[in-house]
Amino acid sequence: MILNLFYKEPDPDRILRFDRYPRKVLRRLVRGGRTPGGQERVFLNLRAGLSLLGVDFRVNDFRHARAHPNELVCIVGKPHLLDAMPWRNPIFFGASVFSHPIDNPTLLRRLPVERILVPGECWTNSVGANFGSR
């Protein structure tokens, strides 16, 4: 089984349409390269951990997800990816995507969310072993 991971940082236009592109170039020239943090760091650590474990995964392959609506998709990070396409796939969603359930009260009625991952204490081996069973 290959995991379908989805992660993308939001990068909206601010003042003018398409101003995100020159802002990105100017930011890099002024500040230098970025240091990943927050949700991006969570995603990068997840990928590194899966690689160490020998788990195969694909990243942001929307075409594959559309063509295989029965395959689980793992959406990590910001909630804007929930609106990236009309999801029919079962969704494993998290971590830390909403501050409070009131941020999106219709989420579970609107999308096929199977599981929600929330931050907390480290899992024990017995809980982690159950992750693969669906």
Residue 134: predicted pLDDT: 43
Residue 103: predicted pLDDT: 81
Nearest by Cα to 117 from 71, 75, 60: 75
Q: Which residue has the higher pLDDT, 63 or 104?
A: 63
Question: In the 8-state DSSP scheme, what is residue 115?
Answer: E
User: What mean pLDDT comes out for the span 64-87?
Assistant: 91
